[in-house]
Amino acid sequence: MGRMLEEIVLHETQTALADTHDVFKLAGHGPVPGHSGMFEYEIDMVVRDSASNTCALYEVKHTERRDERQGRWLRDERVVSEAERRFGRIASRAVLYCGESARNPFGDGIDYANVSEYLLSVRANRPKPRQRRRGVGLSLMGFGNPEQDIR
């Protein structure tokens, strides 16, 4: 269920901001300082505004509980500095989850936002659908009335 919620949030945000922002998932790996191993990370959603050279980082969680561990990659200096180097200054960091919205509840600069409220606000900002065209489409194949709206 969590992966599906991530995909819905990503798709809705991409649809709403397609003309003005880049919206994508970020995954990568890096060296662990002082060790020979590597660590892997994933940021569920990056929203980049290339006009202002800024970005916002999001984790999406399918839970009603807040937990500091939910924002671990948003807090990790290695991940944050790499994101900033590649996508611009980080304007905000947030966990989208099923609980109540809260500003910086753990004092680490990460906000918690209710995912339903987030999706409603994104949908409100979606571009309007294109105007319907008349007399095009199925009517050309002998179906329907050419004066009908064709979507």
Q: What is the pLDDT of residues 91-106, one digit of tens each?
A: 999 999 999 999 999 9
Query: What is the rounded distance in angstroms from the CA atom of residue 105 to the CA atom of residue 29?
Result: 28
Q: What is the pLDDT of residues 59-101, one digit of tens each?
A: 999 999 999 999 999 999 999 999 999 999 999 999 999 999 9
Architecture category of domain 2-150 in CATH: 3-Layer(aba) Sandwich (3.40)
Query: What is the rounded distance in angstroms from the CA atom of residue 62 to the CA atom of residue 136?
Result: 43
**What mean pLDDT do residues 120-130 have?**
79
**What mean pLDDT do residues 121-147 have?**
53
Query: What is the rounded distance in angstroms from the CA atom of residue 7 to the CA atom of residue 44?
Result: 9
Find, among 40, 67, 71, the residue nearest to 57 by Cα: 71
**What mean pLDDT do residues 117-136 have?**
70
pLDDT at residue 124, as a whole number: 86
Please report which confidence band the pLDDT of residue 35 belongs to, taking 50, 70 and 90 as the band edges: low
H/E element holding 4?
Answer: helix 2-17
Between the ranges 20-34, 74-88, 114-128, where is the mean pLDDT highest?
74-88
pLDDT at residue 33, as a whole number: 66
Q: Where are the domains of the chain?
A: 2-150
Query: What is the rounded distance in angstroms from the CA atom of residue 66 to the CA atom of residue 2?
Result: 15
**Residues paired with 90 in a beta bridge:** 55
Longest alpha-carbon distance in the chain = 72
pLDDT at residue 150, as a whole number: 38
28's tokens:
């990568």
